[in-house]
Amino acid sequence: MDSLHRAAPVTLSLLFLFAFLSSSSFVSASPEIQILNAERRIDLTSHVIRVYLTLKVENVGKTPAPEILLAFPPTEVDRVALLKAQAAAGKKKKKTTYLPLDVNPKELPDAPNGTKYFAISLISPLGSGETATIEVLYIKTRSLEPFPAEISQSESQLVYYRDTAIILSPYRIKQQVTFVKTPSAKVESFTRVEPTKSAGMELKYGPYEDRPPYSFSPVIVHFENNNAFAVVEELVREIEVSHWGNLQVTEHYKVVHAGARHKGVFSRVEYQSRPSLSGVSSFKHLLLRLPPKVHSVYYRDNIGNISSSHLRTDLRKSELEIEPRYPLFGGWKSTFVIGYGLPLEDFLFESSDDRRYLNFTFGSPLAEVVVDKLTIKVVLPEGSKDPSAVVPFEVEQHLETKYSYLDVVGRTVVVLEKKNVVPEHNVHFQVYYTFKPIFMLAEPLMLASTFFLFFMACVAYLHIDLSIRK
């Protein structure tokens, strides 16, 4: 019965392969480009899959080529969270330097079977007969399928990974090879596309010679992966800026274990007495990498404060290790809130045009997690005008208004939203705004006026005779 279950996905993949090849074998996006050598390395050691692709391309046409196209199957492109490219610029002291390249989605009218494309814009068009080396990194999420889908407390987690041994490309590839790295040497099965080699924690597909455009050869790797499949379904980060010298950050988390679902009864006695064997696919600790000089750290859930946390700080970084009230198995969820303060002078600066800007990190401070939906709210001081955000990738932006203590007109809130966020999105972004220092006196004057009016009311009450008799 188990062999029948394993054969079913392979059969479906072969049917897809036949349909794909039958309609796309003779389609090419650009006959003027060919790939002399392609090397791909797929890292499966985590549930965040990183693919490193090195392409050596040649222009065999007569006209310059301004861009290089990358092709993805329609079912895979939605799982690509990040795609970056860089080109080798030259050699200095035996070290190759690289320059970043712009990457943007591109639509082609004759795309076979819904193939999706990304266009890598070259720094200068590739002339006839010229070659270039391009390094590509793309990160995929939700690409590991637990099989079996349910496991008991004492079982290890096995997952499927589906891909193609032949790199999908709109160009002819003269030579190519693919390396697949697994987290352990325990590989249950894998598809063979000769030549295929297996050694320890690495599979090698290829080298394959002279493959036509849109070649496709599906493979499935079934292996053990007990790493923490921690996924944040929703994260709301609120960064409140106060010109009185403090930056307050509050983060609301909804975390789920996205691996194989837990079946049966959970035994805490067995979990604690046999930690190396019981619950190997679960996780009970989460690590947050925070900025240095963090203070006033707290950690709580719906019940109240949680004391099982450890904070380590130094001059360069701070690490907060937290432990939920219970370990998380497949399908289990946890909701909690983390808050901390930071010195304002490390994150707020003035630009050359007399505007102020907040420089902070995007993404989640949790290590090696995927965030399905991230919302960042930057609460500016009351009186701030003309806010604008600069983020190095595409996000959704809008403005809100928040009322707090002693506010009159409310505080402007810059809201940034992004889906499918990975650790590589933890880069700096800026929020610019204008602010007149006179507005800093609004709250002190309001407090002084309130106390003065209260004092005058007390004095008037003591000196006024409200009795009927004289």
Task: Give the tens place of pLDDT for each residue, 304-357.
Answer: 888 788 999 888 889 999 998 888 999 999 999 999 999 999 999 998 888 999
Residues in a beta bridge with 187: 223
Contact 358, 378 (CB under 8 A): yes
Residue 469 lies in a domain: no
In this structure, the answer to whether residues 194 and 264 fall within a common structural domain is no
User: What per-residue confidence (pLDDT) applies to 408?
Assistant: 67
Q: What would the mean pLDDT of 126-139 be, rounded to a whole number?
A: 93
- Between 9 and 211, name the one with better pLDDT: 211
Number of folded domains that form the chain? 2
In this structure, the answer to whether residues 431 and 290 fall within a common structural domain is yes
Please, what is the average pLDDT of the chain? 86
> Three-state DSSP class for 395?
coil
Task: Give the tens place of pLDDT for each residue, 4-38.
Answer: 344 444 444 434 443 444 344 444 444 589 999 99
Residue 243 pLDDT greater than 80, yes or no: yes
**Full residue range of the structural domain in which residue 235 is found:** 230-442
In this structure, the answer to whether residues 201 and 328 fall within a common structural domain is no
Cis amide bond preceding 148, omega within 30: yes
User: What per-residue confidence (pLDDT) applies to 314?
Assistant: 84
User: What per-residue confidence (pLDDT) applies to 15?
Assistant: 41
Task: Return the residue matching tokens 């054969």.
Answer: 7
Q: What would the mean pLDDT of 288-309 be, rounded to a whole number?
A: 89
What is the DSSP pairing of strand 196-199 with strand 318-322? unpaired
Q: What is the helix (H) or strand (E) element at residue 394, kind and residue range?
A: none
In this structure, the answer to whether residues 140 and 250 fall within a common structural domain is no
Contact 102, 134 (CB under 8 A): no
Task: Return the residue matching tokens 């992004």.
Answer: 418
**Core vs surface per residue 71-104: b (16+ CB within 10 A) or e:** bbbeebbeebbbbebbbeeeeeeeeeeeeebebe
Task: Give the tens place of pLDDT for each residue, 213-222.
Answer: 999 899 999 9
Sheet containing 158-164: which strands, arranged edge to edge? 144-146, 158-164, 218-224, 187-190
Residue 129 pLDDT greater than 50, yes or no: yes
Contact 47, 229 (CB under 8 A): yes
Token readout for 253 is 């988390």
Sheet containing 95-106: which strands, arranged edge to edge? 65-72, 116-126, 95-106, 80-92, 131-140, 49-59, 33-43, 172-181, 202-211, 196-199
In this structure, the answer to whether residues 80 and 207 fall within a common structural domain is yes
Question: What are the two backbone dihedrals, phi and then psi, of residue 243, each rounded to the nearest 5 degrees?
Answer: -75, 0
Residue 384 lies in a domain: yes
In this structure, the answer to whether residues 25 and 75 fall within a common structural domain is yes
In this structure, the answer to whether residues 354 and 264 fall within a common structural domain is yes
Percent of the chain with pLDDT over 70: 89
In this structure, the answer to whether residues 153 and 39 fall within a common structural domain is yes
Token readout for 118 is 């990304």
Q: What would the mean pLDDT of 98-107 be, rounded to a whole number?
A: 92
Q: What would the mean pLDDT of 165-192 be, rounded to a whole number?
A: 94
- Between 418 and 96, name the one with better pLDDT: 418
Q: Which residue, 224, 253, 280, sits at the end of a domain?
A: 224
Residue 245 pLDDT class (50, 70, 90 cuts): confident
CATH number of the domain where residue 128 is located? 2.60.40
User: What per-residue confidence (pLDDT) applies to 462?
Assistant: 81
CATH number of the domain where residue 341 is located? 2.60.40.1730
The C-alpha atoms of residue 460 and residue 466 are separated, in whole angstroms, by 11
Residue 52 pLDDT greater than 90, yes or no: yes
Residue 113 pLDDT greater than 60, yes or no: yes
In this structure, the answer to whether residues 293 and 157 fall within a common structural domain is no
Computed from CA positions of residues 290, 291, 297, 303, in that sequence, does the dihedral angle turn out positive or negative? negative
Task: Return the residue matching tokens 């029948």.
Answer: 4
Cis amide bond preceding 324, omega within 30: no
User: What per-residue confidence (pLDDT) applies to 92?
Assistant: 55
**Core vs surface per residue 246-265: b (16+ CB within 10 A) or e:** ebbbbbebbbbbbbbebeee
The C-alpha atoms of residue 411 and residue 288 are separated, in whole angstroms, by 29
Q: What would the mean pLDDT of 375-397 be, rounded to a whole number?
A: 92
Q: Which residue, 169, 201, 224, sits at the end of a domain?
A: 224
Residue 450 lies in a domain: no
User: What per-residue confidence (pLDDT) applies to 12?
Assistant: 40
In this structure, the answer to whether residues 247 and 188 fall within a common structural domain is no
Residue 416 pLDDT greater than 80, yes or no: yes
Residue 287 pLDDT greater than 60, yes or no: yes
Residue 99: C-alpha distances to residues 56, 84, 93 (Å): 15, 11, 17
Q: Which of 327, 324, 323, 330 is nearest to 258 (CA)?
A: 330
Question: What are the two backbone dihedrals, phi and then psi, of residue 10, each rounded to the nearest 5 degrees?
Answer: -65, -40
Sheet containing 286-290: which strands, arranged edge to edge? 286-290, 318-322, 309-313
Q: What would the mean pLDDT of 152-164 be, rounded to a whole number?
A: 92
CA 55 to chain centre: 25
Residue 160 pLDDT greater than 90, yes or no: yes
Q: What is the helix (H) or strand (E) element at residue 155, kind and residue range?
A: none
Q: What would the mean pLDDT of 157-185 be, rounded to a whole number?
A: 94
Q: What would the mean pLDDT of 103-117 be, rounded to a whole number?
A: 88
Q: Which residue, 170, 191, 224, sits at the end of a domain?
A: 224
Residue 453 lies in a domain: no
Q: What would the mean pLDDT of 234-243 be, rounded to a whole number?
A: 94
**Core vs surface per residue 164-173: b (16+ CB within 10 A) or e:** bbbbbbbbbb
Contact 301, 323 (CB under 8 A): no
Q: CA 311, 313, 319 angle in degrees (round to 5)? A: 55
Task: Give the tens place of pLDDT for each residue, 79-93.
Answer: 999 999 999 876 655
User: What per-residue confidence (pLDDT) applies to 439?
Assistant: 60
Residue 1 pLDDT class (50, 70, 90 cuts): very low
User: What per-residue confidence (pLDDT) applies to 28?
Assistant: 45
What is the DSSP pairing of strand 309-313 with strand 348-350? unpaired
